Amino acid sequence: MAEHGGYPLSVKPGWEGRFFEDFLVGDEYRHPLGRTLTQQDNIWFTLLTQNVAAVHFDTHYAAKTEFARPLVNSCLTLALVTGQTVIDVSYNVFANLGWDEVRLPKPVFEGDTLYSRSKVLDKRESKSRPSVGLVTVATEGFNQDGIVVCTFKRTLLAYKRGMGPDRAPPVPNSPI
pLDDT for the residue numbered 7: 57
Q: Which residues lie across from 142 on neighbouring strands?
A: 115, 148
Classify residue 121 by its DSSP letter. E
Residues of the chain with pLDDT under 70: 1-9
Domains of the chain and any CATH numbers: 18-159 (3.10.129.10)
Distance of alpha carbon 30 from alpha carbon 170, whole angstroms: 31
pLDDT of residue 14: 81
Q: What pLDDT was estimated at residue 4?
A: 60
Nearest to 53 by CA among 67, 68, 73, 80: 73
- For residue range 129-171, list pLDDT tens digits in order: 999 999 999 999 999 999 999 999 999 999 999 999 988 888 8
The rounded distance, in Å, linking the Cα atoms of 32 and 36 is: 14
| This model's pTM is above 0.75 | yes
